[in-house]
Amino acid sequence: MKKFLVIMLVALTLGVAINTVLPDFSFAGAENAIASAVTAQPPTKVQAHRGITITLFLIIILITLGIVVWAAKRTKTTADFYAARGAITGFQNGWAIAGDYMSAASFLGIAGLICLYGYDGFMYSVGWLVAYVTVLLIVAEPCRNSGKFTMGDVLSFRSNPKPVRAAAATSTVIVSVFYLLAQMVGAGKLIELLIGIPFRVSIIGVGALMICYVVFGGMIATTWVQIIKAGLLMMGAIVICILVAARSGFNPVQFFADVANNAQIQNWTQTHLLHEAIPKPGFDYGQRFLEPGLLLKDVWDQISLGLALVLGTAGMPHILMRFFTVPTAQAARKSVIWAMFIIGTFYILTTLLGFGSAIYVSPQISFAVDAGGNMSNLLLAQMLGNQIAPFVGDFLLAFLCAVAFATILAVVSGLVLAASAAISHDIWVNIVREGHADQHEQVKAARIASITFGVIAIILAILSEGQNVAHLVALAFAVASSGNLPTVVLSLFWRKFNTAGIIAGLLIGTIAAVALVLVSPNMQYPKVIAAGAQKIAVTLEKKQAEGAVLTDKQKADLAKAKMTYEKNKDGSSIVGLDKPWFPLKNPGIVSIPLGFLAAIIFALLFRSKKEEDAFDELYVKQNTGIGVAEILKH
Amino acid sequence: MAQQQTDWAAIARNPKFVELHRRKSAFLFGWWIASTIYYFLLPIGAGAAPGLWSVKVIGHINFGYLFALSQFLVSWAIALYYSAWANNVSDRLTNELLDELKLR
């Protein structure tokens, strides 16, 4: 620890020295100064102080690479590479789970949703914690007791290993790719927006780092990157929350009064959220911001999302994998409980972050900077810091950027590790080599798999530039909840379950989830876009025909709408639809029961006496942990 | 490889294991179902009873916010209760079983 502190201090002083010696090489500093001096003109973008931000990024890169060097010396066997020798403590693993789980989307996105939509944003955050009750009660300890490195180990315990491992590995890779792409594209955009490094360069940089962590440091390095990230994230959140809470005298009642009495929030709720041009007399628009129904309008969509979260988290391969890093079921239990307290505290703090930015930044400005509200945390940090001193504002903003950067690195590393474990351990070692591979070959296979998967992920992320990838996160959870979770639970708890059930459950659950998303409102429907553009064009043209003179902006809007209409009027969605066929954005409510049903029906159709007899062994082991010590020795 | 000779079916029939299994299943699935139902009350209630969700409880803090907050507290409470129960009951039963089988 002392060594890291020294490195941090040296890097910090170096960075500060460089910044004071060199002339301000970016426009960011100047823009910040203008933005804070001319308060009448609200900022339309958030720009971090390049020097400080890059210094902090470098500190994070330095520290994590230091960990990789340290971990590389300890990564010799497969147990080191995939499971950190099973030597992570429950407390450490709890922080690592939190670090693996809380993505940049939850750090920046949920506070943004609260800032723009009030109560509904907070309600949305609840499911992310509740999901861990399922992890704790149903999967954590049995997985620790019955698996070695991957989900394929758990599923193939008593089934026909080759087809089951192949299916499990495929599903793991699919989930990881979806989740990873969303993270990486988000990272590229964020870094481009904040410090002006081009999208491709950031993607290649992030990708190179994640490959480096995984290839050289395996699970040991990944775990510590995740622990550090979770620590930084909590630190950042707590500092901002203290600054926000201080404004309301650390009094929650006063804080909510500040939200409800804020004129900008009232105006935002009235005009933007409820679309009322003239306020209803006596209606409390500020209080309305604290009530549901401003963002999440479809109850079925919410239930569907809730199901995918509650069941999907427990089916996420990179989360399941974390339970193989602890020595015992007790440690697995302890790690989930620690993770729940960290994750829960963070999501409760989003109340202060989100509503805080609504009060002090205002939803209007947050929306103007980013329509998804993703920048509201950063704007809030900068604003609150600037009021102490301009340097503090720059520093806080840079610190949060660095937290977001560390967050992305930690999450993508966990995913690359999970996917490459599935490829090398399940497919190469156990299917191709039928288990006849020595330690040296196995570790080599794992490293080659990580590099290959990482490079493919980088290429895919670069190709996805400009695509809307946000729905990929929901898709990853949908696949995990519809394919992985039913098969894992039935394998662990149902005697009659077997190979046929696992294959059918994984295939049908995954295909159903992906297919439903392909025909859902998540996709782009050019005819719907064209209709919207046409409506704008018609309205503006009518205005023109009535003799009104259009402003320059309206003229530009008209030209744009006409162009959008022409471009989209003959198009159809990626699968050739004119409008969504499935009404919900989240397929869980249909695909999860389908996954379970397919698994159960096929298991009953193709009963296997051998696999049913082997259930006793699995069931005794998963409940008692007999034989776990032997697993770890291998 | 002593493991392969273990008679798993015999352990599965051992009264201590049967007892462990019975109590564990009841606890785990019971609390899982309770927690899941409690969670889905949130979106369903917010959609079906916006009036109740808007009732102010303390100052501007309304029932909806407190109910959402309670989800965190309930999840934590279940986690802590499970932890205490598992340390006292299931770990003890497991250890008794392992002692009897001389596996510990």
Let me know: does A25 contact A368? Beta carbons within 8 Å. Answer: no
Helices (H) and strands (E) in chain A, counts: 31, 0
Please report the pLDDT score of residue A9 as a whole number.
Answer: 44
- Chain A, 318 to 337: residues with Cβ < 8 Å from chain B are 330, 333-334, 336-337
Cβ–Cβ under 8 Å, residues A64 and A213: yes
Local confidence band at A42 (pLDDT 50, 70, 90 cut-offs): low
What is the structure's pLDDT at B4?
52
pLDDT bucket at A609, cuts 50 / 70 / 90: confident
pLDDT in tens, A526-580: 888 888 888 888 888 888 888 777 788 778 888 888 888 888 888 888 777 888 8
| Chain B residues in contact with A127 (beta carbon < 8 A) | 39
Cβ atoms A107, A233 nearer than 8 A: yes
A295 touches chain B (CB under 8 A): no
Q: How many angstroms separate the CA atoms of A371 and A373, rounded?
A: 5
Confidence of residue A622 (pLDDT cuts 50, 70, 90): confident
CATH class of this structure's domain A49-470: mainly alpha
- The total of structural domains in chain B comes to 1
Q: Which residues of A touch B16 (CB under 8 A)?
A: none
Query: Residue B62 domain-assigned?
Result: yes
> In terms of pLDDT, which residue wins out, A295 or A259?
A259
ipTM over 0.85: yes
End-to-end CA distance of chain B: 17
Within a domain: B1: no
Convert the pLDDT of each residue in A468-488 to its tens digit. Answer: 776 788 889 999 999 999 999
Does any domain span residue B4?
Answer: no
Based on C-alpha coordinates, what's the Rg of chain B? 21
A123 lies within 8 A of chain B by CB: yes
Average confidence (pLDDT) over A77-88:
88
Residues from chain B contacting residue A90 (CB–CB below 8 Å):
none
Identify the pLDDT of residue A23.
35
pLDDT reported for residue A350: 93
User: Which residues form the domain of B74?
Assistant: 9-100
Choose, out of A298, A345, A626, the residue to mutate when testing the contact with B (most B CBs < 10 Å): A626
DSSP structure class, residue A627: T
Report how far residue A420's alpha carbon sits from residue A427's, in angstroms, rounded to the nearest whole number: 10
pLDDT digits (tens, 9 = 90+) for B50-59: 899 999 999 9
As to burial, measured by CB atoms within 10 angstroms (0-12 exposed, 13-18 middle, 19+ buried), residue A42 is middle
Q: How confident is the model at residue A14 (pLDDT cuts 50, 70, 90)?
A: very low
A21-35, A58-72, A368-382, A601-615: least confidently modelled range:
A21-35
Distance between CA A12 and CA A416 in Å, rounded? 30
B34 within a domain of the structure (yes/no): yes
- DSSP characters over A353-374: HHHHHHHHT-HHHHHHH-TT-T
Mean per-residue pLDDT, A522-529: 82
